[in-house]
Structure 1
Amino acid sequence: MSTDTGGARALLRTLRNVMAGSGDGQQRLDRVVRLVASNMVAEVCSIYLKRDERTLELCATEGLKADAVHSSRLRVGQGLVGRIAERASPFATDDAQSAPGFRYLPETGEEIYRSFVGVPIQRLGEVMGVLVVQNAAPRRYSDEEVEALEVVAMVIAEMAEAGAFLGSDGIVAQAGRRTGPLLIEGASAADGLAEGVVHLHEPRLVVFNPVAEDVETERTRLAHAIDALRDDLDRLIEDDALGHQGEPKDILETYRMFANDKGWRRRLDQAIDSGLAAEVAVEKVQSAARSRMERVSEPYLRERLHDLDDLANRLLRYLIGPQAEDTVPAGAILVARNVGPAEVLDYSGRIRGLVLEEGALSSHAAIVARAINIPMIVQAERITRDANPGDRIVVDGDGGRVHLRPESSVLDAFREKLALSEQARAVYRGLTDKPACTQDGATVALKMNAGLLADLPSLEMSGAEGVGLFRTELQFMIRGTLPGRETQAKLYGRILDSARGKEVVFRTLDIGSDKILPYMRREKEPNPALGWRAIRFGLDRPRLFRMQIQSLIRGAAGRPLSIMFPMVAEAQEFFDARDLLLGEVARLAGLGHPRPERLRVGLMLEIPSVAFGPDRLFEEADFVSVGSNDLMQFFFAADRENERVRKRYDLLNLSFLRFLRQIVGRCEATGTALSFCGEGAGRPLEALTLAAIGFRELSMRPVSIGPVKRALRSVDLGEVLAALDEAEAAGLTSARSALSHWARSRDLPL
């Protein structure tokens, strides 16, 4: 094959003519393999297509035994062909029999062929099969030859999607879409309940002419589409509909940088030069990004690749033009493989919920979904393949479940739950201005967790008494560059303005582990969760730490200021961080900046070791906040991001509760204010237990404050403590069953 771009274009034009000819699907496949073998000067060309999600079938060949067609099969991951399908990446060797993973298929007669090159046949990152070329003599296939095969594979994928191979016994459909009722378990990225109809973010677009008629015409079409994309992003950034929510705008600013990325544009132009139509060129670059996503574990890099994926989706819409599927139906639930923040903002006000096949709890899209108050489920396996436009769908953002095409009984049950939820919300609204005071006279302060300026309206609506935890790192993670002092100070000032005099406890930067700043080099560590993160990072990088401290002081502008340090493992870390803070207060005062009216300095107790620190630590800290998510992770040695282990351990485990009671006792002995912060604080049964063992401040998601307040106002904590003590006396490992039984016996509203 001539491997320059002109040769590739000539091959594609010939391929287009072959595909346009008469004959059924099998005859077209046979002509394709003959054409590719001839152009590659190869003795073998074969096409393997998926029979189902895990099986590849030989569907056409030039050079192997004809009897093997439709009888020779491989599992995905098996042999060189199976590994290409599994990894969605090409592979070439001049000695196939010696290559790792080689599997000999005697029915094909391939034992005489030593050289091998294979590329995935994929569309939008979904592998449909594998295109293979083989030679008997040792041959090193050049990068240009491999790339040319990838272009051919892309065209085969497009034509398969357009139905070019239908009517043949050999064409293999993608793993069949399930058509009946389906329950899909995912992870909840934003709470809430919603019922509606499926709207696919990526409608199954069909490109009927994947080969460029004229390269310059395709270049012009691409340029116009990119200009429109950039204009649209500019409009979104300036749109007043964002409601002055600074964080989504910051996300879009970063997003716009990718739209102007020269490397991305260069790869698109190169794909067009190879002979592809503009739409297919975009899909080729998009598929490459998706393939890299599958192999990347670093959260930040995956997020950047998702952004490029989202840009490609938007660009395709400009190239293909409006389609019927683009109209968002009333009551839509958006279903997508993944989306970026710009797309979520695009759909704002037009959708009731969001379900993603991929996605992450900490993604930019999740941040925006929470800001605009729509339920969101991520990691809903196969949802884009099993859902069809207009299907009835139910999203349970509280439980992380999706009901696709639910039966009437499921739908009725959900609607009843939705009605009860609305009734409960009406009850909670009636409690907004009332204290969380128990039947025996104990008062528990209920505060909310936040991380975005957009979260602050929930302070008033939920009845929270303040912000018990403001995660400052989110402001750093959603930007493309490090925010300066002035930017940070303005943001912190706006947060305090929005709180209207209620306390906001700012947690200093908790970065590292799974929280990576896009503009900082990541340190490779064998176990990042136990590594260089949070206060350790801050003390080792005092310049960045001081910048944030200075910004917080300036943002307070003389108002009360509460600051706490994350992940303190030993007392000296707290003392060093506090000394740095006090030094900056004094220095800025000398420069004319007002001192905070009242300064409270505390620490998060997330590492068990600090609970055994010296009395001086508890005496000098203004407050201690138990960070339950990390504390449980370290107490049980169970990674909270690992689904196999994190759900095995329970906040109501009696060993953990005994440890918490020790912490309560230490703080009571020194008169140190104590709070409990985390997901557990927002579950009524756990909240009752925490209050019973002595916690008088709980910080949780705003949506949890109503249910927790209602539960607290219904009980006598002495009874809760008695039930807990009975469970311990009985030798149980967890108090959950005993407490649940006790709550049911009293018909408590949990």
Structure 2
Amino acid sequence: MRRGSAEDEEGHVSSQASPTLSLKGIGASPGVAVGHAYILDRKRVRTPKLRLAEAEVDPERQRMRTALELSDQQLSDLKDQISRTEGPEHALILEAHRLMLHDPMFVDEVNRLIVEDRINAEWAVRRVARKLKHLFDNIPDEYFRERRSDVEYVADRVVRNLLGQVVDEEVSLPDHAVVVAHDLSPADAAMLVRGGQVAGFVTDLGGHTSHTAIVARARSTPAVLGAGRASEQISPGDLVALDGTRGIILVNPSEEQLALFQETMRRHQESEARALAAKDLPAQSTDGFRIRLVGNIEFPEELPSLLAHGAEGIGLYRTEFMFLDRKTPPSEEEQYRAYRQVLEAMDGRPVTIRTLDLGGDKVPGKGRHEKEPNPAMGLRAIRYCLSDRALFRVQLRALLRASVHGHLRVMFPLICGMSELREARSELEACRTELGRAGVPLGKRFQVGIMVETPSAALIADRLAQEADFFSIGTNDLIQYSLAIDRQNREVAYLYKPLHLSVLRSLRSIVTAAKDAGIPVSMCGEMAGDPIYALVLLALGFDELSMTAGQIPTVKNVLRQASREEATRLLATAMELTTAEEIERYVRTEMDKRFSSEG
């Protein structure tokens, strides 16, 4: 791991020495940081390309075996180190990389190229990695697109070992360094945050669901990822100010800009301190309306940060990560252990687990031969589960067995009509009966709800509420389906408007249907964690909002300082307006008046 050396005190670049550079990326871990740049060079090593004589093929395959064994041992050692210092949860990512080293899709294909094309192992590894990465390119789900990086990390480790290069060089960081890199492997990110000196992360690649983002959020370290050519534009020792909420980076800021950042950082730190002090206080309005604030997670490693920030439970546990980087789907026993771990860690707090939300082409061992032209609207989520009942039943049995260990709630994604809900519940009850007859211990009956994320579900919410135990509104999909825009498409992403009048009317009708039926209603989309929308959601009457750990303090702070009555007045005025721009401008202006002095 090569790196640029940080400047000494005399060598630091002052804010007057260079013009200020402003960069924009993805706010992947909230918070504000100011520190000097430490450049970590993670660019790929140059790969030699050689043709082999027939007599060189077997020795080359042996070189490959040796490199794989060394890579596996390195990852095992790193996993043990991180488990001792950070706990076992962080080590799960490295275990996934170890599995890739033994995956026939990777190993067998590399050996085939060595034998049939007679090319050296380094070249073969790069060719196979490129092929595997292309499989991820057209996946609409951001989380799974980010897994391309995992293939690159594993391939890079193997190639460096083939070349005899140092792979895991120990890094000694100065205090309060802002680590700047082209990209960071999970091992890099986890090892760097161990000592606590990292003030923040800036990377050229990555996004909100990358491993760097997950590790940063778990340690409450501000991070701006996906910042283009930041690692080329920032020099060692440059003063860097970053806002991990808004995705803003200032390099060598002016004194005035630096003062503003430092004031924002001070307010954020005060807000964090208040949050930690008030983490056990309820998110309750001044006139007594109570909203439960819970967390969204993908990995168990996020649990400590959630609890430290006052989460009252888990509102969305995405189970898809268990299906990544493997040849076959996880077994019932493996899933049971994962769900049990989270339920026990939450110690009686409610844990809402969403059943598999993938398309059939992403499930290992279940690949479809025909590529779907529009996978976001194709055979995915509950539709896929109901088409592959055996796979679905494995997950349902694991959930039923895990229900012994905590307060479980289960929800089905992408429900469009009553028949899907009834079929899914029927499968669950069939599994309950099967396990009961076999004498398997089961917990008490748990709530079974649905994700409301399609316009059809919103329009028949009154009927669905008669047979669902709770609603959880997935605003990310509901908004893009309602407005007919792909929020990943840069050409139309500007049309993604959570305060569009049609969206507000849909939310109001869904909440009303839930209240009329006497069932709780929550929101787990990005809208739930944005403090700008907190009073709108308070006025609508949500029982629960689910978000990332770092968002909980600010949202709680807003809710505890406002009354439901004033929130209702704000929403009523907003819904008298017509365009999304008018509504957003009005809501932002009103929120600034009330909370502009808050962190």
**Do they superpose with TM above 0.5?**
yes
Equivalent-residue separation in structure 2 for 1:543 and 1:323 (angstroms): 42
Equivalent-residue separation in structure 2 for 1:534 and 1:604 (angstroms): 11
Equivalent position amino acid for 1:482 in 2: P
Structure-2 change in CA distance of 1:306 and 1:611 (3 Å): closer
1:340 aligns with 2:182: no
Q: 2:241 aligns with which of 384, 394, 401?
A: 394
Structure-2 change in CA distance of 1:282 and 1:617 (3 Å): same
Contact 1:681 1:687 in 2 (8 A): yes
Q: Indicate the residue corresponding to 1:623 in structure 2.
A: 470
Q: Indicate the residue corresponding to 1:520 in structure 2.
A: 366
Equivalent-residue separation in structure 2 for 1:472 and 1:742 (angstroms): 38
Q: 1:715 aligns with which of 562, 571, 582?
A: 562
Residue by residue, what CA displacement relative to the aligned partner does 1:307-329 show, whole Å, maximum 9, x if unpaired? Answer: 44324543565546569997443
Equivalent position amino acid for 1:548 in 2: Q
Equivalent position amino acid for 1:572 in 2: S
Q: Percent identity among equivalent residues?
A: 33
Equivalent-residue separation in structure 1 for 2:560 and 2:579 (angstroms): 28
Equivalent-residue separation in structure 1 for 2:326 and 2:31 (angstroms): 27
Deviates more, 1:259-268 or 1:187-196: 259-268
Contact 2:30 2:223 in 1 (8 A): yes
1:474 aligns with 2:321: yes
SS across alignment from 2:496: coil
1:583 aligns with 2:427: no
Q: Indicate the residue corresponding to 2:525 in structure 1.
A: 678
SS across alignment from 2:97: helix
SS across alignment from 2:451: strand
Equivalent position amino acid for 2:149 in 1: H
Q: Indicate the residue corresponding to 1:187 in structure 2.
A: 26
Residue by residue, what CA displacement relative to the aligned partner does 1:395-454 show, whole Å, maximum 9, x if unpaired? Answer: 332112333444444333323322221111111122211111112221111111112111
Q: Indicate the residue corresponding to 1:247 in structure 2.
A: 92
Equivalent-residue separation in structure 2 for 1:645 and 1:616 (angstroms): 33
Structure-2 change in CA distance of 1:634 and 1:668 (3 Å): same
Equivalent-residue separation in structure 2 for 1:270 and 1:383 (angstroms): 41
Equivalent-residue separation in structure 2 for 1:537 and 1:210 (angstroms): 43
SS across alignment from 2:373: coil
Q: Indicate the residue corresponding to 1:122 in structure 2.
A: none
1:231 aligns with 2:231: no
Contact 1:237 1:253 in 2 (8 A): no
Contact 1:198 1:392 in 2 (8 A): no
Deviates more, 1:283-292 or 1:184-193: 283-292
Query: Structure 1, unaligned stretches of length 5 or more?
Result: 1-178, 275-280
Structure-2 change in CA distance of 1:573 and 1:197 (3 Å): same
1:737 aligns with 2:591: no
Residue by residue, what CA displacement relative to the aligned partner does 1:654-693 show, whole Å, maximum 9, x if unpaired? Answer: 2211221111221222112111221111122312111112
Matching of residues 637-676 of structure 1 within 5 Å: 637-676=484-523
Matching of residues 167-206 of structure 1 within 5 Å: 181-194=20-33, 195-202=35-42
Equivalent-residue separation in structure 2 for 1:559 and 1:702 (angstroms): 21
Contact 1:602 1:622 in 2 (8 A): yes
Select the structure with the greater relative contact order (CA < 8 A; seq sep ≥ 6): 2
Residue by residue, what CA displacement relative to the aligned partner does 1:310-368 show, whole Å, maximum 9, x if unpaired? Answer: 24543565546569997443244443333433343343425444333233443445444
Contact 2:530 2:555 in 1 (8 A): yes
SS across alignment from 2:522: strand
Structure-2 change in CA distance of 1:517 and 1:653 (3 Å): same
Equivalent position amino acid for 2:74 in 1: D
Structure-2 change in CA distance of 1:252 and 1:566 (3 Å): same
Residue 496 (structure 1) shift: 0.7
SS across alignment from 1:564: strand
Equivalent-residue separation in structure 2 for 1:482 and 1:188 (angstroms): 32
Equivalent-residue separation in structure 2 for 1:407 and 1:427 (angstroms): 30
Contact 1:468 1:699 in 2 (8 A): yes
Residue 251 (structure 1) shift: 1.9
Structure-2 change in CA distance of 1:325 and 1:252 (3 Å): closer
Equivalent-residue separation in structure 2 for 1:677 and 1:476 (angstroms): 22
Equivalent position amino acid for 1:678 in 2: G
Deviates more, 1:532-541 or 1:634-643: 634-643
SS across alignment from 2:356: coil
Structure-2 change in CA distance of 1:559 and 1:412 (3 Å): closer
Equivalent-residue separation in structure 2 for 1:324 and 1:480 (angstroms): 27
Matching of residues 339-378 of structure 1 within 5 Å: 339-349=184-194, 351-378=198-225
Structure-2 change in CA distance of 1:272 and 1:705 (3 Å): same
Contact 1:192 1:396 in 2 (8 A): yes
Residue 616 (structure 1) shift: 4.3
Q: Aligned pairs, how many?
A: 562
Contact 1:451 1:470 in 2 (8 A): yes
Equivalent-residue separation in structure 2 for 1:478 and 1:286 (angstroms): 17
Q: What is the RMSD computed on CA atoms of the aligned residues?
A: 3.7
Equivalent-residue separation in structure 2 for 1:324 and 1:547 (angstroms): 38
Query: Structure 2, unaligned stretches of length 5 or more?
Result: 1-17
Q: 1:410 aligns with which of 246, 250, 257?
A: 257
Q: 2:409 aligns with which of 551, 562, 577?
A: 562
Residue 295 (structure 1) shift: 10
Residue 509 (structure 1) shift: 0.6
Residue 550 (structure 1) shift: 0.1
Equivalent-residue separation in structure 2 for 1:272 and 1:413 (angstroms): 60
Residue 254 (structure 1) shift: 2.6
Deviates more, 1:568-577 or 1:361-370: 361-370
Residue by residue, what CA displacement relative to the aligned partner does 1:548-588 show, whole Å, maximum 9, x if unpaired? Answer: 00001111227543111000001110011011112211221
Structure-2 change in CA distance of 1:263 and 1:337 (3 Å): farther
Equivalent position amino acid for 2:264 in 1: K
Equivalent position amino acid for 2:37 in 1: V
SS across alignment from 1:557: helix
Q: Indicate the residue corresponding to 2:452 in structure 1.
A: 605
Structure-2 change in CA distance of 1:437 and 1:304 (3 Å): closer
Contact 1:371 1:454 in 2 (8 A): yes
Q: 2:350 aligns with which of 495, 500, 503?
A: 503
Q: Indicate the residue corresponding to 2:267 in structure 1.
A: 420
Residue 467 (structure 1) shift: 1.0
Contact 1:446 1:705 in 2 (8 A): yes
Structure-2 change in CA distance of 1:707 and 1:579 (3 Å): same
Matching of residues 117-136 of structure 1 within 5 Å: none
SS across alignment from 1:620: coil
Residue 459 (structure 1) shift: 3.7
Equivalent position amino acid for 2:88 in 1: H
Equivalent-residue separation in structure 1 for 2:381 and 2:168 (angstroms): 49
SS across alignment from 2:450: strand
Equivalent-residue separation in structure 1 for 2:144 and 2:421 (angstroms): 32
SS across alignment from 1:643: coil
Equivalent-residue separation in structure 2 for 1:271 and 1:417 (angstroms): 58
Equivalent-residue separation in structure 2 for 1:621 and 1:510 (angstroms): 18
Equivalent position amino acid for 2:482 in 1: F
Equivalent position amino acid for 2:382 in 1: I
Residue 708 (structure 1) shift: 1.0
SS across alignment from 1:625: strand
Residue 369 (structure 1) shift: 4.3
1:314 aligns with 2:157: yes
Residue by residue, what CA displacement relative to the aligned partner does 1:610-665 show, whole Å, maximum 9, x if unpaired? Answer: 12227442122111111111111111111122233233232222221122111122
Residue 224 (structure 1) shift: 6.6
Structure-2 change in CA distance of 1:431 and 1:508 (3 Å): same
Q: What TM-score do the two structures reach when normalised by structure 1? A: 0.67
Matching of residues 258-269 of structure 1 within 5 Å: 261-264=107-110
